[in-house]
A and B are shown apart, each in its own frame.
Chain A
Amino acid sequence: MQIAVLSGKGGTGKTTVATNLATIMKYRYVDCDVEEPNGFLFLSPDINQVVEVDIPNPVVDRDLCTTCSKCVNICQFNALAVTKKGILLFEKMCHGCGACIIVCSEDAITEKGRNVGRVEIGENKDTECIRGILNIGEPMSGPVISKVKEYINDSESSIIDCPPGSSCNVVKALDGVDYAIFVSEPTEFGIHDLRIVVELAKKAGIPYGLIINMADSGSTLLQDYCRKESIKLLGTIPYDIKAARLYSKGKLLIEDESFRDIFSRIADSIREELKCS
């Protein structure tokens, strides 16, 4: 069972929800926000395995190359160019598809792995923890997220902490997911970006529910939205300075009794939903 936590807008509380839920439900925690993974700050797992993630990039043998440009023309990502001095590779544009190697009629191109990030696997006293980390300066999260997902294709249940937004990296993180939990804050900014990820989940055919985070009594923005769009409301986490205090010390919210109750009830709602979907 793979459950994704996503939001659209950043800073709404995905990691807070994902880390606390994973701990209370005893599900594996998986951080797919590989550009800036922060879940381990709250879970402090002991790492027992590190897997490097490499993308295969083309290497052109200048002695065999005739600069016929077949490789340049086939590349869908503009990673190769031809100059008087030979073929030039823009390595950060290369997606490692291998098309250039296939079309080269001189067998002048071979592959060489280029490190773009790593996957770290570990555990704390409560649960297994996995995260992907993209090297600083790399533009593509996809390959690292895909590698992380290879390690959760088993019978254990996982809570996947997704990247913010709704582009390629989120789509990759959602691949194969059974249920989506949206975390939103009761603001117009929150709802604006939430609408986009709801569309994404609908298109992907993934059932979903919503948690309102940082809720205050003054706003019914999200409750109204849920009612109007028929979205299951899984629970509400209040806007409370206790949360900020615990968070600032790198502690899980469930160390506090009232938050533990709230997350416990949210976990029950989720289990109910999983039975039906």
Chain B
Amino acid sequence: MAPACPSTLEPSHGEDAIMRANRQPVIVGAYESPLRHAPGVHPFDLHADVVSKALVDAGLLPDDVDGFATAAGDFAEGGAFTDLLDVVDYLGLHPTYVDSTDIGGASYLAHAARAASAIERGEAEVVVISYAAVPRWWPIASPYWDGLTQPAGLGQWEIPYSPTLVSSFGLVAQRHMHEFGTKPEHLARIAVSCRQSASRNPHARYRSPITVDDVLTSPMIASPLHRLDCCVVTDGGGAVVITTAERARDCRGEAVQILGTGSALSSLRLSELPQRMVSPAATSGATAFARAGLKPSDVDVAQIYDAFTITVLLSLEDLGFCAKGEVGNFIDSGAIDFGGPLPINTDGGGLSSNHGGRRGMYALIEGVRQLRGTSPGQSVANCEVALVHGIGGIFSAGVTLLLGKGL
């Protein structure tokens, strides 16, 4: 019998080709909680709920799980320093492959990318990635949620000026407007498009359609971002199950291929924003496209992290859907409008459906659902390739996944 590790075989060996194809990582289970408000529910109970339902979706059992990843140390996530241990203990799992990479909102996409590689190398068989948060009722404060860093080290030069999450992104939006003539209407149109998708999603927090004018007349939180430029706040959770293509044959859930992944890190510092007006998405996107052998025009649907309209706007450029500085024209052409040529955030996104503090998991699940044809929101016909992009910090991290239909 051939060795289990493909890397020990000769490249031209036929059996090796079969082994590698069979170890190709696929997402075989996905579940997002329909809840948007969970008063009195501990986030670990939500982990237990979404993990068990994702496993049911996959047709696998907890005993089949040998890998687990989460990040649960942020506000309302229930964990402290050893958050992975906390969650694994509560779930009663005993994984031998583990990951708790914390790069903000993109963390769960990084977990998926690492798990895919580990599975391909034979270091894990069935990996579960899970997320849950209850920001709407959690009473334990996190001291750094608004400024992101401690007022020490490099943070001592920024935190005394009271930066907030919204104003930190406002700095980026303001500069983009100055450099490229981007208008508040362009940002607003992104929110309008997401809300239209949300109107189709029975679980979305906000479903009534809005206009560009509604966005621009909503209260200014930190210029140039209005309330409707900002994501919703919801309780909830979601989980995915990743395994090999070989194992997926015996699974219940329709398998979705992980075609390519890329990740990149940059700075958290606001004084370094001039260096990241081209965000990490430019690197993570290029890497993911190269590994998948695809280009932006191959993408049928894009789930782009929408904590704020500006996170989508900048990512559209940096992922290569349009040239740098051209996103205003791109949006003016109707490209990201509901029903337009590039469907985005088709479940309503963070801007209208759900956002517990980190949205990577929800974006990933919606990408999977679009390829399976099971989205609760706007369903994209003939969906073969889905892009999922997550952001951490203030454009401080980027992780891009390209997913493909079936096997």
Partners in one complex: no
Binding site for B on A (CB under 8 A): none
Which of B's residues lie within 8 Å of A, judged by CB? none
